[in-house]
Amino acid sequence: MSTSGGVVELSEVAKSYPGVAALNGVTLAIGYGELVGIVGPSGSGKSTMLNLIGTLDRPSSGTVRVDGHDVASLSDRRLSALRARRIGFVFQSFHLAPGLSAVDNVADGLLYAGVPLRERRRRAVSTLERVGLGDRLRHVPHELSGGERQRVAIARAVVGEPALLLADEPTGNLDTASGAAVMALLRELNEGGTTIVVITHDLDIAGSLPRQVSLRDGVMV
């Protein structure tokens, strides 16, 4: 795979938007199997960091390597394939398809990885059982609580057994109890071997994680 073996390797990464330097000279390595919190107040550049690590965006300078691939050297098609097979996303606002059942929402996590429909459904069911929603398979999102929706979204992110799970404020829209349950699920998945990066502004959540990376004004502190 890669020389140093990290799932994420940022080297002197900078990202600037017109008039703003969102990230400035960040160097960071995250190894396989880690559970890392990236923490910082809003405007600190953590969303930019998520986009770069998730290969949704490219750096202005520096190199980003994900699962051994130099993002700069990959075409948009290859980046898409990297996301389809090796990266899972969890968003603050879930982003579930409103008319689809939990199973079909989770199965869509495998749609762009070339998995046949029956196999997608089969793996979606087993993943939903793994996140504790075995009794909610046929429910559509509006029939589920916020915590349950986020667990469906997590199931969609991990159904393809990605090398890296990126969670952007996964508890941001949830009450404390649901948020704690979601964090417990993430820890459990990490114990099962999934590398997880949680982006949050919540210091308590970050503090509960084995490793924290603090960002402020686009630089690590």
Partner 1 sequence: MSTLAPARLGPRDVLGVGAAGLRTRPLRAFLSALGIAIGIAAMIAVVGISSSSRAGLDRTLAALGTNLLTVTPGQSFTGASATLPAEAVGMIARIGPVTTVAATGTVADAKVYRNDRIPEAESGGISVLAAHLGLPGTVAAALADGTWLNEATEGYPAVVLGSSTARLLGVTAASPDVQVWLGGRWFTVVGVLSPVALAPELDSAALVGWAAAESYLDFDGHPTTVYTRAEDDAVTSVRELLAATANPENPNEVKVSRPSDALVARQATDQAFTALLLGLGGVALLVGGVGVANTMVISVLERRSEIGLRRSLGATRGQIRLQFLAESLLLSAMGGVGGVVIGIAVTVAYAGTQDWPAVVPVWASAGGVAATLLIGAIAGLYPAIRAARLSPTEALTAA
Q: Are 200 and 37 in contact (CB under 8 A)?
A: yes
Mask 167-206, x = binds partner 1 (CB under 8 A)? Answer: ----------------------------------------
Min dist CB 84 to partner 1, Å, is: 2
Residue 218 found at the interface with partner 1 (CB under 8 A): no
Q: Supply the DSSP symbol for 68.
A: T
Residue 85 found at the interface with partner 1 (CB under 8 A): yes
Q: Which of 12, 27, 72, 95 binds partner 1 (CB under 8 A)?
A: 95
Mask 61-80, x = binds partner 1 (CB under 8 A)? Answer: -------xx----x-xxx-x
Residue 75 or 176: the one with the smaller Cβ distance to partner 1 is 75
Q: Which of 93, 192, 210, 211 binds partner 1 (CB under 8 A)?
A: 93
Could you give the CA distance from residue 24 to residue 107 in angstroms, rounded to a whole number?
A: 38
Mask 114-143, x = binds partner 1 (CB under 8 A)? Answer: xxxx--------------------------
Which among 31-39, 105-113, 192-200, 212-220 is the span making contact with partner 1, rule CB under 8 A?
A: 105-113
Min dist CB 98 to partner 1, Å, is: 6
The one-letter code for the residue type at 125 is: V
The residues, any chain, with a CB within 8 Å of residue 135's CB and separated by 6 or more, are none
Q: Which of 9, 34, 57, 169 binds partner 1 (CB under 8 A)?
A: 57
Classify 220 as helix, strand or coil. Answer: strand
Burial class from Cβ neighbours inside 10 Å (0-12, 13-18, 19+) for residue 174 reads buried
Residue 119 or 204: the one with the smaller Cβ distance to partner 1 is 119
Could you give the CA distance from residue 9 to residue 70 in angstroms, rounded to a whole number?
A: 9
Q: Are 108 and 148 in contact (CB under 8 A)?
A: no
Could you give the CA distance from residue 210 to residue 64 in angstroms, rounded to a whole number?
A: 23
Please give the size of the binding site for partner 1, defined by CB under 8 A.
Answer: 36
Could you give the CA distance from residue 59 to residue 16 in angstroms, rounded to a whole number?
A: 8
Could you give the CA distance from residue 210 to residue 198 in angstroms, rounded to a whole number?
A: 11
Residues that bind partner 1 (CB under 8 A): 1, 51, 54, 56-57, 68-69, 74, 76-78, 80-85, 87, 89, 91, 93, 95, 97-100, 108-109, 111-117, 156
